[in-house]
A and B are shown apart, each in its own frame.
Chain A
Amino acid sequence: GENVEQHPSTLSVQEGDSAVIKCTYSDSASNYFPWYKQELGKGPQLIIDIRSNVGEKKDQRIAVTLNKTAKHFSLHITETQPEDSAVYFCAAPGGGADGLTFGKGTHLIIQP
Chain B
Amino acid sequence: NAGVMQNPRHLVRRRGQEARLRCSPMKGHSHVYWYRQLPEEGLKFMVYLQKENIIDESGMPKERFSAEFPKEGPSILRIQQVVRGDSAAYFCASSPGEGLREKLFFGSGTQLSVL
Verify that A and B bind, or say they do not: yes
| Cβ-based interface call for B48 (8 A) | yes
Size bin of chain B's contact surface:
20 to 34
Q: From known contacts A97-B55, A100-B102, infer whether A43 and B42 are also in contact, taking CB-CB under 8 Å.
A: no
Q: Are A104 and B41 in contact (CB under 8 A)?
A: yes
Q: Are B106 and A45 in contact (CB under 8 A)?
A: yes
| Cβ-based interface call for A46 (8 A) | yes
The A-B contact count (CB < 8 A) is: 65
Interface string of A30-43 (1 = CB under 8 A from B): 00101010000111
Q: From known contacts A34-B102, A49-B103, A104-B42, infer whether A96 and B109 are also in contact, taking CB-CB under 8 Å.
A: no
User: In the complex, A105→B43 CA distance in Å?
Assistant: 9
| Cβ-based interface call for A101 (8 A) | yes
Count, chain A residues at interface, CB 8 A: 24
User: In the complex, A45→B56 CA distance in Å?
Assistant: 23
| Cβ-based interface call for B69 (8 A) | no
- Chain B residue numbers with a CB within 8 Å of A101 are 45
CB-nearest residue of chain B to A92: B102
Q: From known contacts A96-B33, A99-B33, infer whether A46 and B101 are also in contact, taking CB-CB under 8 Å.
A: no
